[in-house]
Amino acid sequence: MPPPWAVFMSFNDYTIHLSDIFNPWSSSESSHKTIALPPFPDHIAPHSGEVIYVSLSTLFLDHDDDYIVSVTFFGSKLSYCMPNGYSEWTNINIPFSYDIDPHVVYSRKDQMFYLLTTGCAYMVPLDLKNNRNPNFMRLQFENFPLIPQHEWEVLASCLRSDYIAESSSGERFIVQWYVEPRRLWWNRARINEKTKRFMVFRIEDEAKHQGRRIIATFTEIFAFSLETILFRGKQVF
């Protein structure tokens, strides 16, 4: 969820509320803006406890009359609504053979949402205003970094999260975040995580797309040894 907005849900009636509680320019609690979204319909409500990511098509809700709110569930469930227009929730049917990554990103350049399938095999552009059918485009990664084989083996044992990021100039990147899980024993079992590495791939211009395939070219690598607790609260958008 992009700052300053946060999302809250009532489990009594399954309504969602957006609030700019993190707005640094709000002088008091009474000045915070709260927007009520419609309740989930019956066929979505049972999954509402699985909501893990909410994305907005704009940060300035007061200046965009047709902004979109998308909600991603575990697996292959994605719903959206347009609070100032068609305010009911619409479900996007993702084929069950694909599990989607929850981190849906809105591209201000293309004015559409993008998501990744789990494992980063496909990138899916979603033009929710004009075309509700998802278009699956296979990702082909090229120019992998030259690192020792044992480093690749270490990365293979890590947990990986994939993110789409867009720069201010409109370039899109895929950021792969490798986390090394470690079990610590302090009177009880506890899982701690250590950031091992970031890899960044640039998504080539659409003119270079070959049919339904997208080229993602390696651009940069970052190695870290700091605990992820130092990055708590930081997100990639």
Spatial CA neighbour of 52 closest among 124, 118, 123: 118
More confident of the two residues 235 and 163: 163
Report pLDDT for 235.
Answer: 35
**Residue 118 vs residue 150, higher pLDDT:** 150
For the chain, what is the mean pLDDT? Answer: 74
Whether pLDDT at 229 is above 50? no
* pLDDT value at residue 95: 67
Query: Is residue 5 within 8 Å of 20, Cβ to Cβ?
Result: yes
For residues 4-17, give the mean pLDDT: 74
Q: Which residues contact residue 122 at a Cβ distance below 8 angstroms, ignoring those fewer than 6 apart?
A: 98, 116, 136, 137, 138, 139
Bigger pLDDT: 230 vs 64 = 64
Phi-psi region of 163 (alpha: psi -120 to 50; beta: other; left: phi over 0): beta
- Per-residue DSSP letters for 108-162? TTTTEEEEEBTTS-EEEEEBTTTB-S---EEEEEES-----HHHHHHHHTSEEEE
Across 209-229, average pLDDT: 59
- Phi/psi at 59 (5° precision): -90, -15
Rounded average pLDDT over 99-126: 83
Give percent of the chain with pLDDT exceeding 70.
65
- Tens digits of residue pLDDT in 22-51: 666 655 555 677 888 887 776 665 555 555
pTM for the full model? Answer: 0.72
